[in-house]
Amino acid sequence: MPAIAIAESIKKIIRQPRISYWKIVGWLAVLQLVINAKTYYVNSHLTDPVLKAGFLNWISSWTYLLQQLLSCVLVSWLCFVVFNLFYYLSACKARLSVFLATGGLLFALYLLIDQGINYFFYRETFNVFINNPLALTSDILLGVTIITVLTVIIVKVAISNDITQRNKQLELDKREAEYELLKAQVNPHFLFNSLNYLYARSLPYSAELSEGILTLSEIMRYAFDAHSMEGDGKVLLQDEVAYIGKFLKMNELRFGVGFYATFEQTGVISGRRIIPFALITMVENAVKHADATDALQPIRVHLEVTADQLVFSCKNQKKPRHMAVLPSTKVGIPNMKERLRMAYGQDHDLLIEDTTDTYFIKLTLRNGH
């Protein structure tokens, strides 16, 4: 529904505007000063002393100053709403019906502000407009055209800057990750050969130990392979999902009957791509902080894939206060948030519900991501 989309966009504007209200106020104040300076210069050189005196009295009156202040505040607020609302709708690739509904609402708001100022401060001008529809139409079209042109320019510049900044940050993150990998990297062939040797040697003695070594080898292979991803900075979703399955399996081997987790998956994942380690970060966070010892309250991981979106969630019971919790670097989830923001922008939502007893996190990727 267009009304719902508009309401959601307005909430985002209030929480985190893309174009600052005070910047708009500053731009408009400067514009007003220039216009008033020109108007003052022209009218102060009038040859008719009566007209000149009337103008000077009006421009120095409290009524005029109030009208200028009110105009600056209201018009700035209108531009703030228009610029940010159309920015978010463009970034979210909203439907045409939403744009039309938004435009109609903002047009009505502009008309109310424009004629409201005329009614209270320029009653003669207001009466002329009421009695002359052509003059009213010309006045409205001029204002709407100016705001429309400014909106198109500002929104396009803002989106272009965001895309450029996002690409730069992604490239920077990729180079930093490659650099860190090179610093800490053990020769993967030597590592995998060693693990395969240990796996073969452990087979006669412990099937469980052998399975753990093999699973660890597969987990580490994905970690290395993910750094050789394609140019879009993404990996196959099915590889990330397989990694999650192996990670949970490794913890089952580690904790035995004291570890309970479920992983439900619906939809077709083949061919889909995703930034690496986005989903596994949520699962690792749950395993680290969860009380997974109750079979009735396991760590619940769920993945749902449709043609339009991907929804991944993870819910866990928190460990009681008396249970030891591994020290946290507190960078996993914040780092994941920033990577998601840079990679998907407005096409993703991340919901976190952190209560006394439970922790729930839900990621939604839209538009076929």
Structure tokens at 273: 């791509």
- Output the tens digit of pLDDT for each of the chain's 369 residues: 456 656 666 677 777 888 888 888 888 889 888 888 887 887 777 788 877 777 778 777 888 888 889 988 998 898 888 888 888 888 877 888 878 888 888 888 888 888 888 888 888 877 877 888 888 888 888 888 888 888 888 888 888 888 888 888 877 777 776 666 555 554 555 565 566 656 666 767 766 677 677 666 666 666 666 555 555 678 889 988 988 888 888 788 777 777 899 999 999 998 898 888 889 889 988 888 888 888 888 999 999 999 889 999 999 998 876 555 554 445 578 888 888 988 888 899 999 999 988 999 999 998 755
- Strand partners for 350: 363
Q: Specify the pairing of strand 309-317 against strand 358-366.
A: antiparallel
Handedness of CA 309, 251, 178, 194 (dihedral sign): negative
Count of CB atoms situated within 10 Å of the CB of 102: 22
The span from the CA of 224 to the CA of 47, in Å, is 83
**DSSP codes of every residue in 217-272:** HHHHHHHHHGGG--TTS-EEHHHHHHHHHHHHHHHHHHHGGG--EEEEEES--TT-
* Helix-strand-coil split of the chain, %, nearest 5: 70, 10, 20
Please give the helix or strand (H or E) that residue 187 lies within, else none. none
Q: Please return the burial class of 241, using the count of CB atoms within 10 Å of its CB with bins 0-12, 13-18 and 19+.
A: buried
What is the DSSP code (8-state) at residue 308? Answer: S
Q: Report helix, strand or coil for 359.
A: strand
Q: Specify the pairing of strand 299-305 against strand 261-266.
A: parallel
The span from the CA of 84 to the CA of 78, in Å, is 10
Cβ 302 vs Cβ 313: under 8 Å: yes
The span from the CA of 212 to the CA of 219, in Å, is 10
pTM: predicted TM-score of the whole model, two decimal places: 0.47
Buried b or exposed e, range 293-323, using 16+ CB within 10 angstroms: eeeebbbbbebebeeebbbbbbbbbbbeeee
- Which runs of consecutive H residues, i.e. helices, occur in 16-132? 21-44, 49-59, 62-91, 96-121, 123-131
Cβ 233 vs Cβ 277: under 8 Å: no
Structure tokens at 353: 């519900």
Cβ within 8 Å of residue 103, ≥6 positions away: none
Structure tokens at 59: 């421009």
Cβ 323 vs Cβ 342: under 8 Å: no
